[in-house]
């Protein structure tokens, strides 16, 4: 039993909703929210995960494992690359969220669920997040935000609850790796996913591969940048990413920056 006033208020908030569907990615926030919902409502909780070309397969697999461990009903919605976002407009996140959460609402209704929840937290309002506007328009509940839970709060409480995601790096969909106003192609998304998975297999966490057509721009945590500067890593990384389809492989010396393509 976690003794924390914010967590107590969170459980009370969710309990009042009666039954909920959690938009579940398997990330830090949605996993914590799902665990809290399970504690508050028991079997009156369903997790809904989006399966799409711009969601890495490994992330969907992790989401499946988490819901099995929590013994929670898990539903999936297959989503193609929507026509509204095919050219990667600046309003991409808003348009995508509006479409996806409309589908999640429909699925929740089929399951006789009262409310749809998402994992937006109190820190998310400090960054450029056009998708939040879509959530408000659709009356999606954001319990972590409404109970003023920050990312640090969520990580600390996740650790206390024994959640494997407590120290998982922040992650965003693969569309965030492509510059605005460029056509989104399946093969480009595959290149990005394979490149990031390879870099993670080398032990790099929180990695991003920003894709500029033939050029891959790798962003690493600042503490990891110097690790790359040796022949045992530079040459294999370049060779591997080129085998995925890139002609040029570069390292961003400023390191990982949230929303660096905004």
158-179 confidence digits (pLDDT tens): 999 999 999 999 888 999 999 9
Please report where in the chains the tokens 């799902």 appear, as a residue: 34
Residues 80 and 9 occupy one common structural domain: yes
The answer to whether residue 166 sits within a structural domain is no
Percent of the chain at pLDDT > 90 equals: 87
Model confidence, pTM: 0.92
Residue 133 sits in the same domain as residue 12: yes
Query: Is the pLDDT reported for residue 128 higher than 70?
Result: no
The Cα–Cα gap between 58 and 64 comes to 10
Q: Give the domain extent around 224.
A: 185-251
- Across 185-200, b (16+ Cβ under 10 Å) vs e yields eeebbebbbbbbebbe
Same-domain check for residues 197 and 142: no
Among candidate residues 178, 260, 189, the one with its CA nearest the CA of residue 219: 260
- First-to-final CA distance of the chain: 41
In a domain, 74, yes or no: yes
- Are 62 and 200 spatial neighbours (Cβ–Cβ below 8 Å)? no
Alpha helices in 129-214 (DSSP H): 131-137, 143-146, 151-160, 186-201
Rounded to whole angstroms, the maximal C-alpha distance in the chain is 58
pLDDT at 2: 64
Pair (114, 243) in one structural domain: no
In a domain, 144, yes or no: yes
Sequence-ordered alpha helix ranges (H) in the chain: 5-17, 28-41, 57-70, 92-110, 131-137, 143-146, 151-160, 186-201, 231-243
Give the percent of the chain with pLDDT over 70.
Answer: 96
Same domain, 125 and 245: no
- 226 and 128 within one domain: no
Q: Are residues 132 and 208 in the same domain?
A: no
Structural domains counted in the chain: 2
């Amino acid at each position: 039993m976690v003794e924390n006033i914010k967590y107590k208020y969170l459980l009370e908030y969710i309990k009042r909703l009666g039954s909920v569907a959690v938009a579940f990615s398997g990330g830090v926030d949605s996993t914590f929210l799902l665990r809290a919902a399970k504690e508050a409502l028991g079997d009156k909780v369903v997790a809904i995960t989006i399966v799409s070309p711009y969601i890495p397969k490994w992330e969907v697999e992790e989401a499946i494992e988490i819901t099995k461990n929590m013994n929670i009903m898990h539903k999936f919605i297959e989503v193609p690359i929507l026509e509204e976002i095919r050219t990667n407009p600046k309003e991409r996140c808003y348009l995508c969220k509006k479409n996806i959460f409309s589908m999640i609402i429909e699925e929740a209704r089929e399951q006789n669920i009262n409310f749809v929840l998402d994992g937006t937290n109190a820190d998310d309002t400090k960054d450029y997040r056009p998708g939040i506007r879509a959530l408000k328009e659709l009356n999606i509940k954001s319990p972590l935000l409404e109970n003023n839970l920050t990312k640090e709060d969520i990580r600390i409480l996740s650790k206390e609850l024994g959640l494997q995601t407590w120290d998982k790096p922040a992650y965003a969909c693969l569309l965030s790796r492509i510059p605005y106003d460029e056509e989104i192609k399946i093969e480009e998304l595959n290149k990005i996913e394979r490149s990031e998975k390879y870099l993670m297999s080398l032990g790099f966490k929180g990695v991003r591969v920003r894709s500029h057509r033939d050029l891959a721009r790798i962003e690493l945590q600042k503490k990891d940048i110097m690790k790359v500067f040796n022949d045992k890593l530079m040459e294999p990384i370049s060779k591997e990413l080129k085998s995925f389809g890139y002609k040029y492989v570069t390292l961003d010396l400023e390191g990982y920056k949230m929303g660096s393509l905004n």
